[in-house]
A and B are shown apart, each in its own frame.
Chain A
Amino acid sequence: AQSVAQPEDQVNVAEGNPLTVKCTYSVSGNPYLFWYVQYPNRGLQFLLKYITGDNLVKGSYGFEAEFNKSQTSFHLKKPSALVSDSALYFCAVRPYFYSSASKIIFGSGTRLSIRP
């Protein structure tokens, strides 16, 4: 069965410092991997996705994520955090091979708090 784990409920970072939000996954075969962000009282917004190819994926708002197959991880990173990055972040996974039964599974979310 496929699953996603976000081991940290909350990550606190000072503005200007690098940030990392962790995600590990379990899926049969190769994965599709996603990061979404949720601002207060809003729906989820797509940030970036990994399909195949380069292990470093660049997305919106200066975020990037690194796919590591041996560690089954897809950590979200940003070199210099902004206060406006404070939000709830979700990692998600789906098997590479599509079937009607395969669906995207979301992690439990990590709250990122950037202090000025």
Chain B
Amino acid sequence: NAGVTQTPKFQVLKTGQSMTLQCAQDMNHNSMYWYRQDPGMGLRLIYYSASEGTTDKGEVPNGYNVSRLNKREFSLRLESAAPSQTSVYFCASSQKPRLAGGKHTTDTQYFGPGTRLTVL
């Protein structure tokens, strides 16, 4: 199993250009996430998809759009890139928490290797 894969690994854009970051997982997980990582700020959630067919905004959604193409794939699109979007982007997936024995199971997230994006 490849786990969570992301393409591309690196990308340089000019301000105003658009691009799509691709993410796929082969663990049959229901939930998928996009984060950005900036120095000193940890990971911030951009968008997530709790299950196929649904997407929701996270902490920092402005300037991004997402598509949950199917259960395996969750893409992140920058329509008009800005220098403030220079960051490392991580995709993650997890099984959707569910009730088992009267308690909710937890949702350990599994991360892809990241995409390093520079916007000039």
Contact = CB atoms under 8 A, between A and B. Distances in A.
Interface residues of B, number: 26
A115 interface: no
Contact of B107 (A52, A94, A106, A108): A94
A51 interface: yes
A43 B90 contact: yes
A111 to B, nearest CB: 10
Q: What does DSSP make chain A's interface, helix, strand, loop or mixed?
A: loop
Contacts of A28: none
Contacts of B109: 44, 46, 104
Interface string A105-116: 011110000000
Given A43-B4, A96-B104, A103-B58, A109 B42 contact: yes
Interface residues of A, number: 25
Given A103-B48, A106-B42, A108-B42, A98 B104 contact: yes
Given A43-B114, A45-B111, A107 B42 contact: yes
Most B Cβ at <10 Å: residue of A44, A49, A51, A90: A44
Interface of B: 4, 35, 40-45, 48, 50, 56, 58, 90, 92, 97, 103-104, 106-114
Q: In the A-B complex, list the 7 residue pairs whose CB atoms are closest, starting with the nearest.
A: A43-B111, A108-B42, A98-B97, A106-B43, A44-B111, A98-B104, A106-B42
